Amino acid sequence: MSPASEALAGPVEGVVAPGRQSRVGRARVRSEHALIRGAMAGSEEDLEQLFHRFWPRAYRIAFLIAHDHAAAEDIAQEAFVQAIRRLDRFDRRRRFAPWLGAIVANRAIDWTRARAARRESEQELPEPVAPPDAPTGRYSDEVMAALATLTPEHRAVIVLRFVLEYTPGEIAGALDLPRGTVNSRLRRGLDALKEHLTEEDLR
C-alpha cells in the first residue's frame, strides 16, 4: 500500500454522522441475510437493525466524496431508502455493503457534480472542506483538503478502494465502469494525492 493510500486507511467508523448512533445495540445480533429477509417481509425491527449496521459505512462514503456533512447525511439516507425499495433485485449471494456503497457513491458523485455546476454558473467561491466543528474522524485537514482537489470520479474510486477496501472488480461493478478505467483512475488519484500531501501528512 502506498503512503497516500495509507493516509486514508482506517476503521470504517472513523467518520460518524452526528446523532446517528444505533438505538438497537442491545438487540440480538442476526446475520445480514436474515435481516434482509426480514426487511423484505416487512419487519420494522430488522429494517432498523439493517440501517444502523450499515449507516456508518454509507455515511462515510458519502462524506468523503461530497465533503459536506449535511449533504452526506441526506445522501446516505436517500441511498438506503433506494436500496430498501430495490431489495427484490438484490442478489443475496453477494454482500450487502458493496451494493449499498455503489448506490451511495453514485449519489454522492451526482451531488458533487451538481454543486460544482452551480458554483461555476453562479461564480461562487469554494466553501471550506468542512466547518471547524464538523467531525472528520482520524483524517487531518491536510488529507481532507487533498481529497477535495480530486475530481468526484477519482475521489470515488480512491474512497471505495482504500477506505472501504473494495476490490477493483467490485468498484467497476459498483460504478458501472470498465476495470481498466477503475485502475487508471486509481493511479491518477493516488498520484494527485501525493502532490498535495507531505511526508508528515502521510504518517
Q: Is residue 19 part of a domain?
A: no
pLDDT for position 136: 45
**Nearest residue to 10 (alpha-carbon basis) of 169, 191, 136:** 136
Q: Which residue in the block uniquely carries the three cell numbers 452526528?
A: 18
Half-sphere exposure of 44 (CA within 13 A, CB side): 0
Q: Is residue 154 part of a domain?
A: yes
Q: Is residue 116 part of a domain?
A: yes
Q: Is residue 120 part of a domain?
A: yes
| Distance, CA of 155 to CA of 188 (rounded, Å) | 10
Q: Is residue 4 part of a domain?
A: no
| Distance, CA of 76 to CA of 52 (rounded, Å) | 12
Domain tally, the chain? 1
pLDDT for position 199: 44
pLDDT for position 152: 86
Query: How many residues would you count in the chain?
Result: 203
Q: And the C-alpha cell for 34? A: 436474515
Q: And the C-alpha cell for 88? A: 427484490
Q: Is residue 12 part of a domain?
A: no
pLDDT for position 142: 77
**Nearest residue to 2 (alpha-carbon basis) of 181, 169, 162, 173:** 162
pLDDT for position 203: 46
Q: Is residue 170 part of a domain?
A: yes
DSSP H helical segments within the chain, as ranges? 3-6, 32-40, 44-66, 69-85, 96-122, 141-148, 152-158, 168-175, 179-196
CATH at 82: 1.10.1740.10
Q: Which domain holds residue 163?
A: 29-196
What residues of the chain score a pLDDT lower than 70?
1-28, 120-140, 198-203
What does DSSP assign to residue 200? T
pLDDT tens, residue by residue, 65-118: 998 899 999 999 999 999 999 988 888 888 888 889 889 999 999 998 888 777
**Nearest residue to 154 (alpha-carbon basis) of 97, 146, 37:** 146
Q: Is residue 13 part of a domain?
A: no
pLDDT for position 198: 58
pLDDT for position 122: 62
Q: Which residue in the block uniquely carries the three cell numbers 502521510?
A: 202
CB 61 within 8 A of CB 101: yes
